[in-house]
Amino acid sequence: MLVKKIFNNNVLLAEDGDQEIVVIGRGVGFQQKIGQVVAQQKIEKCYYPKDQRWTTLFNELTSAIVFEYIEIASHIIATAEARLDTDFDDYLLIGLADHIQFAVARQLKALPIKNELLWETKHFYPEEYMIGEEAVAYIAAQLNVTLADDEVGFLPEVKCFKAFSFFL
């Protein structure tokens, strides 16, 4: 697997033959150069796009999404996959990172949004809701931004959990 593009110290785009792969891991991009072999021991998660559309979308959004949000989204997805014993579509990385960035921007501008499905999420999907609470706490710890309680219900709705696949 060779480095194709370095986004930051923890996120890079790699090539494995003709397959592009988004690689996330602490320090995976540190002191790397394009064309070098990716340090396998630093890889925490790989996202394998199923088609060119995913790679194109990812490349387009790299100018709009801060890579810190991609790392946060990857952590939340990994947590949810482990807790719910499932695998999510790799497209989720882009959608969730974009959602988190937008939610943080709204919070910083004091533009709250009401989640009309918060009660339903909490009561009908308690495990997903708990993961949403953990995600909001993780975001607060990483970014020093406390999202509104309504966001606890929105995070699972961002297709992070199969029960809410209709939201994206």
Instruction: Give per-residue pLDDT as tens, 36-71.
Output: 999 999 999 888 777 777 767 777 776 688 888 989
| Full-model pTM | 0.78
pLDDT in tens, 66-97: 888 989 999 999 998 898 888 888 778 888 88
Centroid of chain to Cα 150: 19
CA distance linking residue 38 with residue 13, whole number of Å: 10
Cα gap 153→136, rounded to integer Å: 10
Please give the average per-residue pLDDT across 130-140, as a whole number: 93
Q: What is the mean pLDDT of residues 110-125?
A: 86
